[in-house]
Amino acid sequence: MKLTYFGHSCFLVESGGQKLLFDPFITPNPLAKGVDISKIQADLILLSHGHVDHVADAVALASQTGAPVVSNWEVSEWLGRQGLTNLVAMNHGGSRSFGFGRVKMTGAIHSSTMPDGSAGGNPGGYVVEFAEGAFYYSGDTALTMDMKLIPEEFAIRFAVLPIGDNFTMGASDATRAAGFVDTSIVVGVHYNTFPPIVINKEEAVATFSKSGRTLLLPAIGETVEI
């Protein structure tokens, strides 16, 4: 699988020729000013919750790519009010088959108000199962015991987890989350974008390596093979 990082919690995973884009927040992010969103291609866009730092460019990129947007019911209703029609509404615990494999929506401990203040349902995350393997994106969340259910069902090759602390897990809890989902490779997201989530990257990498795990922190715009 190939993962390209676009800053904050926005990343694209490619497998079997399918491109899945998560939580697009690029144009408002000064750290991602080198990313040209007009060049981003996607076959499916997935949103973890309604906060602006996860949905800011969703409408523009869905319109540009024609990709369906997967989200919870309330976020899907909001996207409909923004004029999108190619929407896939799910909710926690539900899974759905796509041409490339399966997507299951997982829970998250967080909040989910939309940018206009309307209700954004409950925040979530996703397990995506491709033919070549599965990965887990937790979305914004605290560490939760429910993560332990995931490896009962899926062999997780890698997890994409927030490490910025303050609004979500920090590196220490994200290391424990990696243990809960039984993976040794984590891509860290949701850090350094805003002052309360500025971290020391070397310390975060060391926190993971103490438990024998690898924390990948691709540069914005960088693609890594996992």
Instruction: Please report, as ranges, the residues that interact with Ni ion according to CB under 5 A.
Output: 51, 140
213 binds, among Ni ion, Mn ion, none (CB under 5 to 8 A by kind): none
Q: The tokens of 208 are what?
A: 């993971």
Nearer to Mn ion, 1 or 220 (CB): 220
Contacts 24+ apart (CB under 8 A), 28-32: 28/52, 28/53, 28/56, 29/193, 31/7, 31/192, 31/193, 31/220, 32/6, 32/7, 32/8, 32/220
19 binds, among Ni ion, Mn ion, none (CB under 5 to 8 A by kind): none
Nearer to Mn ion, 1 or 177 (CB): 177
Cα–Cα–Cα angle for 226, 215, 1, nearest 5°? Answer: 10
Nearer to Ni ion, 129 or 173 (CB): 173
165 binds Mn ion (CB under 5 A): no
53 binds Mn ion (CB under 5 A): yes
Q: Is the distance from CB of 49 to CB of 63 less than 8 angstroms?
A: no
Q: How far is CA 130 from CA 19, 43, 50, 169, in A?
A: 11, 14, 26, 26
Judged by CB under 5 A, which stretch of 37-45, 58-66, 89-97, 137-145 contacts Mn ion?
A: 137-145
Q: Minimum distance from CB of 214 to Mn ion (Å)? A: 24
Q: Minimum distance from CB of 115 to Mn ion (Å)? A: 12
140 binds Mn ion (CB under 5 A): yes
Q: Minimum distance from CB of 16 to Mn ion (Å)? A: 29
Nearer to Ni ion, 14 or 140 (CB): 140
Nearer to Ni ion, 50 or 129 (CB): 50
Provide the b/e sequence for 19-37 (b: ≥16 CB within 10 Å).
bbbbbbbbeebeebeebee
Strand-pair partners of 32 = none
57 binds Mn ion (CB under 5 A): no
Write out the residues near Mn ion by the rule CB under 5 A: 51, 53, 140
